[in-house]
Structure 1
Amino acid sequence: MSITIGVDVGGSHISSAAVNSEDFVIIPGTYFSGSVDSKASKEVIIKKWAEIINQTIQIVQKTYSLTETIGIAFSMPGPFQYETGIAMFKGNDKYESLYNVSISEELTKYISAKNVSFRFLNDASCFGVGGSLKPESVLYSKVIAITLGTGFGAAFLDNKLPLTQGDTIPHNGCLWDKPFKEGIADNYFSTRWFSNQYENSTGNKLTDGVKEIAGIENSETARIFDDFACNLTEFLAPCIVKFDADLLIIGGNIAKSNHLFLSKLQQNLKNKNIDISISIIENTEQTSILGSSYLYNESFWERIKAELPYF
């Protein structure tokens, strides 16, 4: 069995699991997750990352006799130099102690396995790749994947390959920073938009984000989700048409409340004569882990190296 360790790094957590590289399924018992203080020192952060990854490695080494180098693949937020493995976190209030640090060099000091190699890809891209690998997605070639949570992530994929340049996709293949209404897209398709709308409508502050709004289900919250669906339609429609996408994959914590906005989104797109399938993925972390593991598919790696963003 060929095994890859997939790792998902978030703003406040890290998750790790071993993936069977033959059928791209997470091996039972190898998934571990832990919280991380993104404002901690370099040593504290790296040691915490290694601690979680080592738990996965130890289970794999106990169960399987691995003689070859273990590939460790990261779903990593930006800014990051994905080809060199150097973190560029600065001015974004997370992991700033890792600025200009080689993650490969630092992690090697604490990883329990002797022979390891590292590869890195943007977290939104990994989610898109992972979503494209799912059985229900194999019939689609042009895919837009978005994550809706504390921020707005996006990836444009052609036959599983995330694209960062070209006439049919936005600059860098990103959507969060693109203009929309009175600001940028990230202001409208993230948790803080829901919080702001709810507070403006009711005068009350949320303590549990979108999950709290979804649990209320009254006319005010229904209107907020309808407005969200209308905004998302207005923003995504030109992207879908230009890219000629045939599948939209939606993940992130907000996707867990899809029963409150999905039908409206589908109807709005239909009204614009846009025919696209929509797939909701609620286990975003595991999907990103699967996507990261695909970096050790050598033919895929050769194709994607030219697309790795340098930021």
Structure 2
Amino acid sequence: MTGNRVATIELGGTHVAVALIDATARSIVDGTYLSRPLNSGGSAEDIVEGIAEAARTLGSEHGGRWAVAVPGPFDFEAGIAEYTGVGKFDALHGVDLRARLAEALDADQGSFTFVNDADAFALGEYAAGAARGLSRFCCITLGTGVGSGWVVAGERTDGAAPGGEVHLLEFEGQRIEARMSRRAIRAAYSQRTDRAAAVPDVKEIAELARSGDSVASEVLEDAFSFLGRALAGPLARFDADALVIGGTIARSWDLLEPPLADGLGRPRFPIIRAELSHEAPMIGAAYAADAALLGAQGV
């Protein structure tokens, strides 16, 4: 049956991914997932066509609904991009992505649901991952920066951060990503080792820490402990049942969890590693689209 399938698009800073999601099973339909490079610095026409070209591979074996997970800043209700000065998708500023994609895909504008990518990741973990059964939790994704999604009873909320975005919070006189981000970790390692060139990436720094590199260990402990201290207040105000951590940096769980827990003050709630990876925002976006459809029908 195609009626329970949602055509899903996930837009990243360097890629576009598409898949059909089985809204009943809350999983990707076998053989439909595709990820392609996307030049976020290109023209609006090139970006839209790049997204549409990938989306067309999904064919018509779905219920005519489209779920789109996109990074902010974005007007999710109107479907209009608000990127400016963020180093990606600047050409889409002011573009009605709902109308442009509907035209490119010969679809109804009303069939599109746009969801913040971090919220989509959190909802994906709620629908099919580590957050199943949780009533009130925060999901943090760690990669290039710090993404965040706050969920109460299966619905996204702003939680205890401006617009729900933890990266906008300030702690100890600086934004969180000034100490906890891919750029910040690499910069800290470079400064402490006086290596201006060929600075290892976070994965390599983690490997160095495991092999006994004391500087690498200190850099990671500092970043993860700082994140814990910065999140302690917001999570207490939110009265979280759990903290879920995902993203590429979460793959170094053995190095991440101990200093993060210490920074949080060994909280009463569990710190849980996300179970899903690339599929989380796609499943979450489809889950949100399904919920929106049921809401519109008064179910």
* TM-score, L = length of structure 1: 0.86
Aligned counterparts of 2:118 and 2:198: Cα–Cα separation in 1: 27
Contact 2:16–2:54 (Cα < 8 Å) also in 1? yes
Report the counterpart of residue 222 of structure 1 in structure 2: 217
Alignment of 1:201-220 (within 5 A): 201-204=192-195, 205-207=197-199, 209-217=201-209, 218-220=213-215
CA-CA distance at 1:300 after TM superposition: 7.6
Equivalent position SS for 1:242: helix
- Seen in structure 2, the aligned counterparts of structure 1 residues 234 and 206 have a Cα distance that, compared at 3 Å, is farther
In structure 2, give the amino acid aligned to 1:251.
G
Aligned length: 289
Of 169, 183, 186, the match for 2:160? 169
- Seen in structure 2, the aligned counterparts of structure 1 residues 246 and 208 have a Cα distance that, compared at 3 Å, is same
Aligned counterparts of 2:71 and 2:148: Cα–Cα separation in 1: 12
- Seen in structure 2, the aligned counterparts of structure 1 residues 32 and 135 have a Cα distance that, compared at 3 Å, is closer
- Percent of aligned positions that are identical: 28
Aligned counterparts of 2:266 and 2:194: Cα–Cα separation in 1: 38
- Seen in structure 2, the aligned counterparts of structure 1 residues 134 and 200 have a Cα distance that, compared at 3 Å, is same
CA-CA distance at 1:296 after TM superposition: 2.3
Aligned counterparts of 1:49 and 1:273: Cα–Cα separation in 2: 43
Contact 1:228–1:261 (Cα < 8 Å) also in 2? no
CA-CA distance at 1:159 after TM superposition: 1.3
Equivalent position SS for 1:137: coil
Of 254, 258, 283, the match for 2:253? 258
CA RMSD of aligned residues (A): 2.1
In structure 2, give the amino acid aligned to 1:242.
R
Contact 1:8–1:285 (Cα < 8 Å) also in 2? no
Equivalent position SS for 1:144: strand
- Seen in structure 2, the aligned counterparts of structure 1 residues 234 and 198 have a Cα distance that, compared at 3 Å, is same
- State yes or no: 1:199 paired with 2:190: yes
Aligned counterparts of 1:299 and 1:106: Cα–Cα separation in 2: 21
Aligned counterparts of 1:48 and 1:254: Cα–Cα separation in 2: 28
Report the counterpart of residue 174 of structure 2 in structure 1: 183
Measured against aligned partners, the alpha-carbon deviations of 1:91-138 in whole angstroms (never above 9, x if no partner) come to: 212111111111121112322x65672110111111111111125422
Aligned counterparts of 1:251 and 1:192: Cα–Cα separation in 2: 18
- State yes or no: 1:103 paired with 2:97: yes
* TM-score, L = length of structure 2: 0.89
Aligned counterparts of 1:20 and 1:141: Cα–Cα separation in 2: 23
Aligned counterparts of 2:7 and 2:200: Cα–Cα separation in 1: 32
- Seen in structure 2, the aligned counterparts of structure 1 residues 300 and 137 have a Cα distance that, compared at 3 Å, is farther
Aligned counterparts of 1:42 and 1:207: Cα–Cα separation in 2: 33
Aligned counterparts of 1:160 and 1:74: Cα–Cα separation in 2: 18
Equivalent position SS for 2:168: coil
Aligned counterparts of 1:229 and 1:163: Cα–Cα separation in 2: 25
Report the counterpart of residue 306 of structure 1 in structure 2: none
Structure 1: give runs of 5+ residues left out of the alignment: 304-311
In structure 2, give the amino acid aligned to 1:189.
M
Alignment of 1:44-123 (within 5 A): 44-55=46-57, 57-58=58-59, 61=60, 64=61, 66=62, 68=63, 70-111=64-105, 114=107, 117-123=111-117
Aligned counterparts of 1:253 and 1:156: Cα–Cα separation in 2: 19
- Seen in structure 2, the aligned counterparts of structure 1 residues 24 and 215 have a Cα distance that, compared at 3 Å, is same
- State yes or no: 1:124 paired with 2:126: no
Of 240, 244, 256, the match for 1:245? 240
CA-CA distance at 1:187 after TM superposition: 1.3
Aligned counterparts of 2:108 and 2:80: Cα–Cα separation in 1: 20
CA-CA distance at 1:281 after TM superposition: 2.6
- Seen in structure 2, the aligned counterparts of structure 1 residues 107 and 207 have a Cα distance that, compared at 3 Å, is farther
